[in-house]
Amino acid sequence: MKSAALYLTALLSLFAVSSPAADNSGTDPVQTVQSFYDYHFKHDMGFGAPEVKARKAWLAPELYALIMKVIKKPVPKGDAPDIEGDIFTDSQEYPTSFHVGNAAVKKETARVEMTFNWSREKRHVTLILTRIEHEWRIVDIDYGDHRSLVKDLQEAAH
């Protein structure tokens, strides 16, 4: 009887983890960003539907829909796509590491500072998150210089 109970407990624990973001309690925007980039850096960072779908749990529905719209936009034969490289680090050469900074939270919006590191370069960005059903989700990335992920995607979608 003990082995059946152990088997059932093990089986239930497998189903308890429903998504890559399951370790994110949703209560801390810094942890959400840390969890997202931990996953992002350990997996394919390309700009394609499978890669974005794997990150859906961390993204606000509007951002996810906009990204998928750009991915699905037909590219004329011989033309380069409007977006190349990694949209989540704003780079064509992937950074070697990252550091999640502090969060500034105002009601249902949080701004989390990030630093990406390459061998000879550092770049700072700010992730903007919102609370959706008690969980923090990424809605935009402020790249600086009046650029953001959403602005770039909106431009590429048209």
pLDDT in tens, 24-68: 445 799 999 999 999 999 998 888 899 999 999 999 999 999 999
In a domain, 135, yes or no: yes
In a domain, 113, yes or no: yes
Give DSSP secondary structure letters for 10-56.
Answer: HHHHHHH--SGGGG--SS-HHHHHHHHHHHHHHS---SSHHHHHTTG
Least Cα distance to 89 among 3, 6, 152 occurs for 152
In a domain, 62, yes or no: yes
Strands across the sheet with 122-132, in order?
A: 97-106, 109-117, 122-132, 135-144, 147-148
* Neighbour count for residue 15 (Cβ, 10 Å): 7
Which one has a higher pLDDT value, 32 or 7?
32
Task: Report pLDDT digits (tens) over 115-126.
Answer: 999 999 999 999
In a domain, 55, yes or no: yes
Residue 138's pLDDT is what? 97
Mean pLDDT of the chain: 84
Range of the domain at 122: 26-157
pLDDT at 6 over 60: no
CATH of the domain at 141: 3.10.450.50
The token pair that represents 147 in the structure block:
């650029």
In a domain, 6, yes or no: no
pTM confidence score? 0.80
Residue 47's pLDDT is what? 85
In a domain, 16, yes or no: no
Least Cα distance to 111 among 35, 38, 29 occurs for 29
In a domain, 13, yes or no: no
In a domain, 103, yes or no: yes
Q: How many domains does the chain have?
A: 1
